[in-house]
Amino acid sequence: MAGLDSDSKLKKLKIISYDDQKYTKKRQELSVMINPSSIAHSHSINYNADQAPDTIGPENKFKNVGPESVSFELVFDGTGATGEVRDVHEEIEKLKEATYYYIGEEHQTPFVQLSWGTSFTFYGRLTSLEVTHTMFSPDGTSIRAKAKVAFENSMDPETQAKKTNKSSPDLSHVVTVKMGDNLPMLCEKIYGDSSYYLQVARVNNLVNFRNLEPGAELMFPPVKK
């Protein structure tokens, strides 16, 4: 029962900012005050829409996979209605520091990891931030506000290569585990040989390779046959 209580404990959405596109130089980490009620996760595919003469429509040949994006709304409350009192202005500034403000020494804005429990992880950069103040104290201080935020995914070229080149055992792959997956099966799919499962288990520090956690990301390194 103790394990169940631990698993069901409320987890807050975390916003972790980095200086670099490989997400190794961590700047800061913050947890939202109130979890968003919904998250929109958008995907897109781009096609070449050129149309040949004397045809009734384009062929729509594949061009590329467009960037993914997520958007949601955060609420900042300084009234004490949530059981704690925070300074709304300070909370918004923390959000801006983590996602929006230009980093002079890096000549760019931060890279951001969004993480909520084990079911949601997103890597990208802020594309829009709209703050609306909805309640004020008698002296005009904002005591409640909401922020609409949108992020677009961002990956360094090496990571993109790992995710897009899925057909060759000579390249590294990052695979997101799905329900029912096991390591020998995934090795058979990637390498054409299930016997590499022990090598992959060592690379990923896996103890139980038969019971993989859905949503986890595993690295499949190049192999020599």
Q: What is the pLDDT of residue 9?
A: 79
Say whether 212 sits in a helix, a strand or coil: coil
CA angle 171, 175, 179 (to 5 degrees): 150
pLDDT in tens, 17-28: 999 988 999 999
Which pair of structure tokens corresponds to residue 208?
Answer: 């139980």
Asked whether the beta carbons of 133 and 144 are under 8 A apart, the reply is yes
Write phi, then psi, for 42 (nearest 5 degrees). Answer: -105, 145
Q: pLDDT tier at 56 (50, 70, 90 boundaries)?
A: confident
List, in order of start, the domains of the chain with CATH numbers: 2-155 (2.40.30.200), 158-220 (3.10.350.10)
Asked whether residue 86 carries a pLDDT value surpassing 80, the answer given is yes
Asked whether residue 13 carries a pLDDT value surpassing 50, the answer given is yes
The more confidently predicted of residues 85 and 65 is 85
